[in-house]
Amino acid sequence: MRERSHIAIIVQSKIIYEGLHSVISQSELDASIFKVESLDDLEQVIHTRTVDVLIINPILIANRERDVKKLRKKHPNLSIVGINTGLIDQSVMSMLDNSFTLFDAVPQVIEKLQKAADENDPKSAGNTENLTDREIDVLTKLVHGLSNKEIAESLNISIHTVITHRKNIASKTGIRSQSGLTIYAISKKIIDLEDVNPFG
């Protein structure tokens, strides 16, 4: 059984924070929840306590892609989950690992947070540079030649989520080309050599 998760929340609204705190606290998710005032403050918080999952209003990271990339580079196991208000630019949403809306059912929100927390579980780290199960799914589809749209449809996720997973895969493996990822997937026994058609 995984250890307790540590969830930081960055939102401007006290009502939203208290609502999320209440929902998470009353769920089966074993987590400590705390408020962080801003993305800048998060860096200081991480030095003093563990943060597995960050819940944030995506508006607060608009025009801060460089800061988010820096954060991910320093803390690659941090999962970022956004509160989607429906008015967020696609480029901002692509910086998130997952998102939910304030209209989502509570079990659905908890499931997404649990998934985000599980992606940081050391027990799930194998010989694949800590790729998550979903990233492995995307990688498998990629090396079989599927487009972002086809991957999104086959895994029932959005295209921007596929793009986010691709970025994470590239960041974790250091490989961006399809041929390189194919070799990587074979070497890590994610796929079998017979599964690959060299002629596309």
Comparing 115-124, 144-153, 162-171, which segment has the lowest mean pLDDT? Answer: 115-124
Residues whose CB is less than 8 angstroms from the CB of residue 50 and which lie 6 or more positions away in sequence, other chains included = 6
CA 182, chain centre distance (Å): 22
Q: Is the pLDDT of residue 108 over 70?
A: yes
Q: Which residue has the higher pLDDT, 82 or 177?
A: 82
Q: Is the pLDDT of residue 97 over 50?
A: yes
Locus of tokens 């927390």: 117
Chain segment 153-188, per-residue pLDDT in tens: 999 999 889 999 998 888 888 887 777 888 888 888
Q: Compute φ and ψ for 32, nearest 5 degrees.
A: -100, 135
* Confidence category of residue 129, pLDDT binned at 50, 70, 90: low
What is the rounded CA–CA span in Å between residue 132 and residue 121? Answer: 10
> Which fold is adopted by the domain 133-195?
Arc Repressor Mutant, subunit A (1.10.10)
CATH of 5-123, one of 3.40.50.1100, 3.40.30.10, 3.60.40.10, 3.40.50.2300: 3.40.50.2300
- In this structure, are residues 56 and 11 in contact, taking their beta carbons and an 8 Å threshold? yes
Beta strand pairing call for 31-35 and 5-10: parallel
Q: Which residue has the higher pLDDT, 16 or 179?
A: 16
Residue from 7, 14, 27 nearest 98 by CA:
7
Q: Which residue has the higher pLDDT, 197 or 131?
A: 131
